[in-house]
Amino acid sequence: MSESSQTELEDVTVAVFLAQEGSEEIEFTEPTETVSEAGATVDVIGSETGEARTVNNDLEESESYEIEKTFEEVSADDYDAVIVPGGTVGADTLRTQEEGVELLREHVEAGKPAAVICHGPWTLIEAGVVDGRTLTSYHSLRTDVRNAGGEWVDEEVVTDDNLITSRNPDDLEAFCETILEEFANHRN
């Protein structure tokens, strides 16, 4: 990474959602590291503070990471951008957490960028921000996206205004590159 790209997000504050358990580790760590290395201030947020256990390939327990702030402690005004990782259990859990869903809704409706990967679009669907939008996700969510009024496409990364979506961990390189570009373009 060049020196200029290391500071391209130095004035950007990013919230990264993390479920207490079941978020896909690489979909959490790679985007988080990408924006951190680009100079962004990053807060890991969830339903409660403390350790959160991630997974690999949805089924294998992996490392634990610290949730620093709760959804109730923060507001959409606190962040320039949001990242929501996948993981079937983690994404399913996040979409049931009303404070997190409301935070995401307010964030997206304010026109701020949200980067969501794999099963993470379940949270976008729950937030009611998919209607009329084009996005991608893990292939099993295509009917959910369509039922919510969105257009689902099979592409490694899709940007529709302030929504950035990707299908799975194989798309992380393109997803992270797009995050850097879109977060820099939407800075306040």
Per-residue pLDDT of the chain (188 residues; tens, 9 = 90+): 444 444 589 999 999 999 999 999 999 999 999 999 999 999 999 999 999 999 999 999 999 999 999 999 999 999 999 999 999 999 999 999 999 999 999 999 999 999 999 999 999 999 999 999 999 999 999 999 999 999 999 999 999 999 999 999 999 999 999 999 999 988 65
Of 118, 139, 176, 186, the active-site residue reads 118
Class of domain 3-185: alpha beta
d(CA 18, CA 89): 11
Concerning whether 176 is annotated as a catalytic residue, the answer is no
Are 51 and 64 spatial neighbours (Cβ–Cβ below 8 Å)?
yes
User: CB 177: neighbour CB atoms within 10 A?
Assistant: 12
Of 119, 139, 176, 186, the active-site residue reads 119
Find the radius of gyration of the CA atoms of the chain. 15
- Residue 70 vs residues 25, 91, 122: alpha-carbon distances, Å: 19, 16, 20
Concerning whether 107 is annotated as a catalytic residue, the answer is no
In the DSSP assignment, the letter for residue 157 is E
Are 114 and 82 spatial neighbours (Cβ–Cβ below 8 Å)?
yes
